[in-house]
Amino acid sequence: MNIENIKKEFPIFDEKIQNNDLVYLDSANSSQKPRVVIDRIYDFYSKEFSNVGRSVHYLAVAATNLYENTRTSVQKYINAKDKNEIVFTKGATEAINLVANTFGQKYLEEGDEVLLTELEHHSNYVPWHFLRNSKKIKIEFAEINEAGEITIEAIKNKITNKTKIISVTHLSNVTGAILPIKEIVELAHSKNIPVLVDGCQGAPHLKLDMQELDCDFYAISGHKMYGPTGIGVLYAKKKWLDDLPPYQGGGGMINEVKKTGISYGELPNKYEAGTMATAQVIAFNESIKFMEKVGIENIEKHEKELLDYGLDILRKNNSIKIVGNPKNKGGVISFTIEGVHPHDIATILDEDGVAIRAGHHCCQILHEKLKLPATARASFGVYNTKDDIDQLSKSIENCKKIFNL
């Protein structure tokens, strides 16, 4: 597949958005969807729909097989050992909540510490914060350096004999820093501490190999991987899924239910209570196939080229300050313009069809540390081109003009 032609696979780019061609630079927020994913949802609902895992009729069996096929695809895609290590959730947020809740219940006691980093998204902080109240645990934050990175030393500095779990992002959705996950896991495991990786930004942009990373948990959102909303994945080593208590209770996750007691179902059902996002799970298989067809190496290379090109152009502009300068960086450029608030930047860029995000990007801890109330962020996906970045740069100039800079 020619990376130049990929844009054509995404119907949204055939649309005029307020009379403009869409320059979509908000993929870190959510990615656009290729036709195969959209069609799969339509086809499933129009020709194949049934609930999964319950009835014995033809459609139910077929739907169950399709649903389980996605599990196998994800397992292969991230190189998990066992298909039952893949749990479907509504997104990375639910995956992290699942771990915080169940691990917290079983293993955290008053005074125990959970180690996060200053780069974390609110969804990798708030679920742990709940345990501050219910279990009186402490939360520690590994600190960023000048470049907006988390080094292995920063993690080492905050590990104590009270640290019970480390939960870190794979790739920062603000500075773009890619964390040294393998080293963090090695260090943590040498002290018997499990590691959860918030892979929300990792999964769409980096090659994933659970055997190589060796982390205990990895959280993914489907909608950032060219897939539907409402679907995510928790990868967890089987020993944890066997060991931890169930998360939500309901149909599908039980073995036997009596007035006097309940026994829970086997994996993966144990963690998938109630009717799941069936159509989305089935369509998510198409996202995985799409990414496999393009090739994650090609995606990485393409986005790196865009990043280098974008950084080069924006750095030449004296009024732009780029947030963070990590050596190992994904396709995210957060920036500020002296004299223009990020929200005004976003509104003015939008007028040219350039979609970026402005705000704290659900990372208030980081923004407070950087002493910035808000930043503007351009983030890349497989469909972006150098033309998109040229348009970004042009629209930024327009922004300065409007503000008489």
Partner 1 sequence: MDLKELYQEIILDHGKNPRNLRKTENFNKDAKGHNPLCGDNVHIYLKLNENKKVEDISFEGHGCAISMASASIMTDLVKGKEETEVKEIVNDFLDMIKEKEELQNKILNEDEKTKLMCLSGVKQYPMRVKCATLSWHTLTSAIDDFQKIVNTEN
Ligand X SMILES: Cc1ncc(COP(=O)(O)O)c(C=O)c1O
Binding flag, residue 167, ligand X (CB under 6 A): no
Rounded CA separation 104/107 (Å): 5
Smallest separation (angstroms) from ligand X to the CB of 8: 26
Catalytic residues: 362
- Give, as ranges, the residues between 225 and 264 that touch ligand X (CB under 6 A): none
Distances (CA, A) of 35 to 12, 38, 203, 274, 286: 9, 5, 20, 29, 10
Binding flag, residue 347, partner 1 (CB under 8 A): yes
DSSP symbol at 319: T
Which one of 161, 192, 263, 404 is in contact with partner 1 (CB under 8 A)?
Answer: 404
Which one of 92, 185, 236, 281 is in contact with ligand X (CB under 6 A)?
Answer: 92
Contact by Cβ (8 Å): 226, 34:
yes
Binding flag, residue 343, partner 1 (CB under 8 A): yes
Smallest separation (angstroms) from ligand X to the CB of 236: 16
Which one of 97, 169, 334, 391 is in contact with ligand X (CB under 6 A)?
Answer: 169
Nearest by Cα to 268 from 69, 403, 68, 84:
84
- Residues whose CB falls within 8 Å of the CB of residue 112, separated by 6 or more in sequence, listed in order: 135, 137, 138, 162, 163, 164
- Give, as ranges, the residues between 329 and 368 that touch ligand X (CB under 6 A): 362
Stretch that binds partner 1, among 234-242, 254-262, 311-319, 356-364 (CB under 8 A): 356-364
Binding flag, residue 373, partner 1 (CB under 8 A): yes
Binding flag, residue 82, partner 1 (CB under 8 A): no
Binding flag, residue 150, ligand X (CB under 6 A): no
Q: Roughly how many angstroms between the first and final C-alpha of the chain, as a whole number? A: 43
Burial 18-42 (b: 16+ CB within 10 A, else e): eeebbbbbbbbbbbbbbebbbebbe
Question: With CB under 6 A, what is the number of residues at the site for ligand X?
Answer: 14
Place of tokens 């393009």: 294
Helix count and strand count (H, E) for the chain: 13, 17
Binding flag, residue 93, ligand X (CB under 6 A): yes
Which one of 62, 344, 369, 390 is in contact with partner 1 (CB under 8 A)?
Answer: 344
Cβ nearer to ligand X, comparing 199 with 399: 199
What is the torsional sign of CA 393, 397, 398, 399? positive
Phi, psi (deg, nearest 5) at residue 288: -60, -45
Cβ nearer to partner 1, comparing 48 with 344: 344
Cβ nearer to partner 1, comparing 160 with 364: 364
Binding flag, residue 342, partner 1 (CB under 8 A): yes
Cβ nearer to ligand X, comparing 188 with 362: 362
Q: What is the largest CA-CA distance in the chain?
A: 74
Which one of 367, 388, 392, 400 is in contact with partner 1 (CB under 8 A)?
Answer: 367
Binding flag, residue 341, partner 1 (CB under 8 A): yes
Rounded CA separation 395/353 (Å): 9
Stretch that binds ligand X, among 67-75, 119-127, 155-163, 181-189 (CB under 6 A): 119-127
Which one of 306, 374, 382, 396 is in contact with partner 1 (CB under 8 A)?
Answer: 374
Distances (CA, A) of 138 to 56, 105, 116, 365, 399: 49, 15, 11, 16, 44
Rounded CA separation 55/354 (Å): 48
Which conformational region is residue 149 in: left (phi greater than 0), alpha (psi within -120 to 50 degrees), or beta?
beta
Stretch that binds ligand X, among 85-93, 159-167, 324-332, 351-359 (CB under 6 A): 85-93
SS3 53: coil
Smallest separation (angstroms) from ligand X to the CB of 126: 11
Contact by Cβ (8 Å): 262, 69:
no
Stretch that binds partner 1, among 154-162, 183-191, 344-352, 378-386 (CB under 8 A): 344-352
Count of CB atoms situated within 10 Å of the CB of 258: 7
Which one of 64, 73, 201, 384 is in contact with ligand X (CB under 6 A)?
Answer: 201
Which one of 48, 49, 359, 394 is in contact with partner 1 (CB under 8 A)?
Answer: 359
Which one of 121, 205, 270, 329 is in contact with ligand X (CB under 6 A)?
Answer: 121
Distances (CA, A) of 134 to 105, 166, 341, 396: 9, 19, 39, 47
Which residues are near partner 1 by CB under 8 A?
A: 18, 339-344, 347-348, 351, 358-360, 364, 367, 373-374, 402-404
Point out which residues bind ligand X (CB under 6 A): 91-93, 121, 123-124, 169, 173, 198, 200-201, 221, 223, 362
